[in-house]
Amino acid sequence: MPRIPPSVFRQALRTDPLLVPLLPVTRSLSGAQAELRWLRKEVPKPKLPWAIVQRSNYRPLQYILGDQPFLDLSIKCAEGTLIPRWETEEWIARIKPFISNVKIIDACTGTGCVALSFNGTGSNIVGIDIDTSCLSLAKFNQQSNRCDDIVHWAQCDILNWTDDLHHVCKGVNFLVSNPPYIPWEEYTKLDRSVKNFEPQLALVGDLEFYNALVHNLLEPNLNTCDGFVFEVGNVNQIHHVRDLVKKHGWNVGYLMDSAGYHRCVVGWKPDGRFDFKKLCDFVY
Ligand SMILES: C[S@@+](CC[C@H](N)C(=O)[O-])C[C@H]1O[C@@H](n2cnc3c(N)ncnc32)[C@H](O)[C@@H]1O
């Protein structure tokens, strides 16, 4: 990582001394100015020095401020649960207009941001996570955002097929998931603000999660499920899912994100209720 030139530190010091401890984290003066503005706006004045020390130790801003805007929701964030990302927000905004009055399963729900984004579609939504602290936060977010659609939460390990998982997913029409998808070798290279503060359980994973989504959630419900969208971290994960569902004759495509990365694998049943062809950036 290139060093920050001393002239930038001097400029920060002249502009506002509180920018200096933020510079090594944000790596640019404009980034430090933006973060200081947010901290001044959101953190009560007596707590500002504490907040700046926390941030200078690479604690993510969302854990300091306590929440993160996500579409029209305000999502409470707490350590132990992944902070919702703009990439996820982006694909949900694209997919939401296609969804109405269905049973949705959001596997690996975390803060509940994905599940709760489908509020207002008249759907019956179930968010699943292995971690009960995530489910408590998701329930809080449901109440604080006054989400009125039917939303339930269930603790299940999607990697293991159990009667509970079977019962929860029965009758699903649309399956969504942002599973842990960062392979271990890549995880070790992540920024320290992610690695030191966000839960490894939410981040590290690979093809085993896509196998579980297809074998444990989709395949037992092929008679009711008409579509899925799974967030991915690389094109290999897209190809893997494509190959798994090919034998069922499903259509498969993918979405890119606005930073130019492969972001979601999308599947839909021919003659089912969803036609995601128009949604996809590429269809196989
Ligand atoms: C990448 S985070 C996604 C959180 C949220 N959906 C979002 O988009 O911000 C993955 C989530 O999967 C959960 N998880 C990890 N292993 C799991 C498993 N075996 N079964 C169910 N959930 C799991 C983690 O607790 C974490 O909340």
51 lines ligand 1 (CB under 6 A): no
* ipTM of predicted complex: 0.99
Distances (CA, A) of 85 to 49, 248, 257, 269, 277: 27, 32, 12, 28, 25
84 lines ligand 1 (CB under 6 A): yes
Q: Residue with the nearest Cα to atom 18 of ligand 1?
A: 157
Q: Kindly give the distance from the C-alpha atom of residue 168 to the centroid of ligand 1, in angstroms, as a whole number.
A: 16
134 lines ligand 1 (CB under 6 A): yes
Q: Are 181 and 232 in contact (CB under 8 A)?
A: yes
Structural domains in the chain?
Answer: 6-57 (no CATH), 77-283 (3.40.50.150)
What ligand 1 atom has the least distance to the C-alpha of 203?
A: 1
Span 186-209, average pLDDT: 96
- Cα(47)–Cα(52) distance, rounded to whole angstroms? 9
Per-residue pLDDT of 116-174, as tens digits, reads: 999 999 999 999 999 999 999 999 999 999 998 889 999 999 999 999 999 999 999 99
221 lines ligand 1 (CB under 6 A): no
157 lines ligand 1 (CB under 6 A): yes
What confidence category does residue 42 fall into, taking pLDDT thresholds of 50, 70 and 90? very high
Entry pTM: 0.95
Retrieve residue 16's tokens. 């506002």
Q: Residue with the nearest Cα to atom 2 of ligand 1?
A: 202
Retrieve residue 74's tokens. 């305000």
202 lines ligand 1 (CB under 6 A): yes
Report the residue among 86, 111, 130 best suited for mutation to probe ligand 1: largest number of ligand atoms under 8 A from its CB: 130
What local confidence, expressed as pLDDT, does residue 75 receive?
98
Per-residue pLDDT of 50-100, as tens digits, reads: 999 999 999 999 999 999 999 999 999 999 999 999 999 999 999 999 999
Beta bridge partners of 124: 103, 150
Helix (H) or strand (E) holding 177: strand 174-177
With CA atoms as reference, report the closest residue to 131 among 212, 203, 220: 203
Per-residue pLDDT of 209-219, as tens digits, reads: 999 999 999 99
130 lines ligand 1 (CB under 6 A): yes
Residue 1 has pLDDT above 80, yes or no: no
Span 265-281, average pLDDT: 96
What ligand 1 atom has the least distance to the C-alpha of 158?
A: 20
Q: Kindly give the distance from the C-alpha atom of residue 109 to the centroid of ligand 1, in angstroms, as a whole number.
A: 6
